[in-house]
Amino acid sequence: MPELPEVETTRRGIAPHVEGREIREVIVRESRLRLPVPDDLVDRLVGARFDRLARRAKYLLLPLQDGDDAHLERGTLIWHLGMSGSLRIVRLGDLPRKHDHVDLVLDDGGILRYHDPRRFGFVDWLQGSVANDPRLAKLGPEPLSEAFDGARLFEMSRGRRIAVKPFLMDNTVVVGVGNIYAAEALFLAGIDPRRAAGRISRERYDRLAAACREVLAAAITQGGTTLRDFVGGTGEPGYFAQRLNVYGRDGEPCRRCGAELRLVTLGQRASVFCAACQN
Task: Give residue-wise pLDDT tens across range 53-98.
Answer: 999 999 999 999 886 655 556 899 999 999 899 999 999 889 999 9
- Parts of the chain belonging to CATH 3.20.190.10: 4-137
- Parts of the chain belonging to CATH 1.10.8.50: 150-273
73 given a catalytic annotation: no
Residues annotated as binding site for DNA? 99, 118, 160
Residue 170, Cβ density class (10 Å: 0-12 exposed, 13-18 middle, ≥19 buried): middle
Q: At residue 229, does pLDDT exceed 80? A: no
254 DSSP 8-state letter:
P
Quote the CA–CA distance of 6 and 197 in Å, as a whole number. Answer: 27
Q: What is the mean pLDDT of the chain?
A: 90
Res. 241 pLDDT band, cuts 50 70 90: low
pTM for the structure as a whole: 0.85
Quote the CA–CA distance of 190 and 278 in Å, as a whole number. Answer: 4
Q: Which CATH class is domain 150-273?
A: mainly alpha
Quote the CA–CA distance of 188 and 118 in Å, as a whole number. Answer: 33
Residue 134, Cβ density class (10 Å: 0-12 exposed, 13-18 middle, ≥19 buried): exposed
165 given a catalytic annotation: no
38 given a catalytic annotation: no
Q: Which fold, 4-137?
A: N-terminal domain of MutM-like DNA repair proteins (3.20.190)
Q: What is residue 242's predicted lDDT score, i.e. its pLDDT?
A: 62
Other Cβ atoms less than 10 A from the Cβ of 174: the count is 27
Which among 56, 58, 113, 204 is annotated as catalytic? 58
| Amino acid letter, residue 190 | G
Looking at per-residue pLDDT, the higher value among 88 and 226 belongs to: 88
